[in-house]
């Protein structure tokens, strides 16, 4: 302990379990090392990518002399907010037409969740939020720090490597009336397991009958299936019944704007009057937190979404990213099948989105890191976007060895 420092008693915090994987990977000198921990898209060559349409939008912004760097309003860029709501709820959404939606620009998905959670902690009558078991590691921290009490509902079934739908319905059925429920709009992180549309409809009916408040986290719209509309179906089902809900949106994955921190929080209200009062209170949450959001990333998104040619170009690039990930799933499944690796690996092609929940345990993961220099989170989650045709054989060998040795 450094007795001369006022901070001398501070203990070292553990590494973030997800970001810590990259730290360990960076220290490894092996030429065969493979990082499957990070939730960011990579090309077949393993390189980060900036979408062509994003470069084009940035060029337009740079060349536009009327673009200034003044502060945005507290709620962010008006065009961006309007277009973001349209993207998730649909161009013909009655909620938008009736001015019942309030949208505020936030700092990507994390910031949108945090602003929404702080708002609920101040203004909602039930301070309990139910999150799926498992879920993204940051979810419980965000909600707890905002002042909500976090409980879990059953979601993943390790036996089938699919959805524990019965458990989910039982747990939500037992939740107190009015509780908040966090739902992954699509491409559930970390499992890649999503409810079917029929199951979503059952979830909606149950939640509405009990007055549970849906809070959607939409981090992968268009990135999961390749279709922006298909990936928004869960959200639109809930909005179509005229009920209220919250939606956090991120453009990190689907526009590759990770480091620009671009996102939005939308709250669908019963009436236009309620929406306007909700917006006034959201401003009071945001102002002492970060005053107002950054301008550059939101301007890129607005530029792309309001120009039909650029929008179409974006959907093509987005589908190409989604398709590459889907093809990696197929290649990995085929390679494991060809090698005769023990067990059923069909969940790899059934799951959707950036991640696969392999079913590997922490002992098997540690073995793969030590012997094969493959880095992933200890729960066996791998980022399919970090894989390529060249690295599938190496991963297959590692999984085969791990499963054979620690069956």
d(C-alpha 194, C-alpha 188), whole Å: 6
Sign of CA dihedral 115, 116, 121, 122: positive
Burial degree of 354 (CB within 10 A; 0-12, 13-18, 19+): buried
Distances (CA, A) of 118 to 109, 147, 191, 283: 14, 7, 27, 11
Distance CA 235, CA 187 (A): 13
pLDDT at 3 exceeding the cut of 80:
no
Look at 42-46, 123-127, 241-245, 260-264 and tell me which has the smallest mean pLDDT: 42-46
Q: Which residues contact 199 (CB under 8 A, 6 or more apart)?
A: 163, 165
- How many whole angstroms separate alpha carbon 384 and alpha carbon 39? 9
Q: What is the pLDDT of residues 148-172, one digit of tens each?
A: 999 999 999 999 999 999 999 999 9
pLDDT confidence tier of residue 17, bands split at 50, 70 and 90: confident
Shortest CA distance to 372 belongs to which of 336, 402, 348?
Answer: 402
Can you tell me the mean pLDDT for 3-12?
A: 92
Provide mean pLDDT across the span 349-361.
94
**pLDDT 10s digits, 53-112:** 999 999 999 999 999 999 999 999 999 999 999 999 999 999 999 999 999 999 999 999
In angstroms, how far is the first alpha carbon of the chain from the final one?
44
pLDDT digits (tens, 9 = 90+) for 363-403: 999 999 999 999 999 999 999 999 999 999 999 999 999 99
Dist. CA 281–CA 277, nearest whole Å? 7
Q: How far is CA 45 from CA 4, 19, 71, in A?
A: 50, 22, 39
Tens of pLDDT along 300-328? 999 999 999 999 999 999 999 999 999 99
CA distance 326 to 334: 12
The answer, yes or no, to whether residue 16 has pLDDT greater than 90, is: no
pLDDT the model gives residue 118: 98
Q: What mean pLDDT is predicted for residues 108-137? A: 98
In the sheet where 245-250 sits, what is the strand order? 101-107, 262-268, 245-250, 213-218, 180-184, 128-133, 149-154
pLDDT tens-place string over residues 248-307:
999 999 999 999 999 999 999 999 999 999 999 999 999 999 999 999 999 999 999 999
Structure tokens at 259: 């480091």
Cα–Cα nearest to 48, from 385, 402, 405, 398: 385
Positions marked active-site: 136, 217, 253
């Amino acid at each position: 302990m450094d007795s001369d420092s006022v901070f001398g008693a501070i203990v070292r915090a553990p590494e973030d379990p997800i970001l810590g994987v990259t730290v360990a990977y960076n220290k490894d000198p092996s030429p065969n090392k493979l990082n499957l921990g990070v939730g960011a898209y990579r090309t077949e060559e393993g390189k980060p990518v900036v979408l062509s349409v994003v470069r084009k939008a940035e060029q337009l912004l740079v060349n536009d002399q009327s673009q200034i760097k003044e502060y945005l309003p507290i709620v962010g860029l008006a065009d961006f907010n309007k277009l973001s709501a349209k993207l998730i709820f649909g161009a013909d959404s009655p909620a938008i037409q009736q001015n019942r939606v309030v949208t505020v620009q936030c700092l990507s998905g994390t910031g949108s969740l945090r602003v929404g959670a702080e708002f609920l902690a101040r203004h909602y009558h039930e301070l309990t939020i139910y999150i799926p078991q498992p879920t993204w590691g940051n979810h419980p921290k965000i909600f707890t720090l905002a002042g909500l009490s976090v409980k879990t509902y059953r979601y993943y079934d390790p036996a089938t490597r699919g959805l524990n739908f019965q458990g989910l319905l039982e747990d939500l059925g037992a939740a107190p009336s009015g509780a908040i429920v966090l739902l992954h709009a699509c491409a559930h992180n970390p499992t890649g397991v999503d409810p079917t549309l029929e199951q979503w409809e059952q979830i909606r009916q149950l939640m509405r009958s009990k007055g549970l408040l849906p809070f959607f986290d939409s981090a992968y719209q268009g990135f999961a299936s390749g279709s922006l509309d298909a990936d928004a179906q869960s959200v639109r089902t809930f909005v179509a019944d005229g009920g209220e809900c919250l939606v956090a949106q991120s453009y990190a994955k689907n526009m590759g704007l990770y480091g620009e921190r671009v996102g939005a929080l939308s709250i669908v209200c019963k009436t236009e009057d309620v929406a306007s009062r909700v917006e006034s209170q959201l401003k009071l949450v945001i102002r002492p937190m970060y005053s107002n959001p950054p301008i550059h990333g939101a301007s890129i998104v607005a530029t792309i979404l309001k120009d039909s040619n650029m929008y179409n170009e974006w959907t093509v690039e987005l589908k190409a990213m989604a398709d590459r990930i889907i093809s990696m799933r197929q290649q990995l499944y085929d390679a494991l099948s060809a090698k005769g690796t023990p067990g059923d690996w069909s969940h790899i092609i059934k799951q959707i989105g950036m991640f696969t929940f392999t079913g590997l345990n922490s002992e098997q993961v540690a073995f793969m890191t030590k012997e094969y220099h493959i880095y992933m989170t200890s729960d066996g989650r791998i980022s399919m976007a970090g894989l390529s045709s060249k690295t599938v054989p190496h991963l297959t060998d590692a999984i085969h060895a791990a499963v054979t040795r620690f069956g």
